[in-house]
Amino acid sequence: MEIRVRRIHDPPEPGDGMRVLVDRLWPRGIRKADAALDVWLPELAPSTELRKWYGHEPQRWPLFRQRYRGELAERPAALDNLLVRAGDGPLTLLFAARDRERNNAVVLARVLQERLQVQSGENSSPTCYAAGFPRYNGFE
C-alpha cells in the first residue's frame, strides 16, 4: 500500500486515496466543510503533553520520534483499524504543521509501513527502507 504524507492546507490530489487527518487539534484556517478528508483520527496523534513538549523544535525531533513511536506502540488496534479501513490504498496522512519533514504524520507513516511489512512477511529491518526516509534517519 502506498502511504503519502501531505499538509492539510495543500489542495487534494486525485491519487490521494483515503485522506486522514492525524492531528490532535483541528487545524487553524481550515473549515470542516472544506477539509476534503475522509476521517479525522486524533487518537493517532501525539499526546497533548508530547505535542507541547516538542513545539516543532528541530533539536527535539529525534527524541520526539522515539516518544511518539512509544505512544503508537500502545495503540496497535487503532493502527490496524486504519490499515483495514484504507484497504489497498493509497492512504494520505494529513497534518497541519509547517515543517513537512519533521511532523507526527511522517512518524506515523513509517510505523504503518513497518506494520504492513511485518503483516506481509517482508523483511522489515531498518536498513531495508532507510533510504526512503533520509531526513528521518538523520542522513540529510
Which residue in the block uniquely carries the three cell numbers 483495514? Answer: 84
Which residue in the block uniquely carries the three cell numbers 492531528? Answer: 23
Q: What is the mean pLDDT of residues 68-87?
A: 95
Distance in angstroms (rounded) separating the CA atoms of residues 109 and 123: 17
Q: What is the mean pLDDT of residues 2-31?
A: 95
Q: Tell me, what's the pLDDT at 121?
A: 79
| pLDDT (tens digit per residue) in 26-59 | 999 999 888 899 999 999 999 999 999 999 999 9
Which residue in the block uniquely carries the three cell numbers 487503532? Answer: 78
Q: Please determine, for residue 129, whether its predicted confidence score (pLDDT) is greater than 60.
A: no
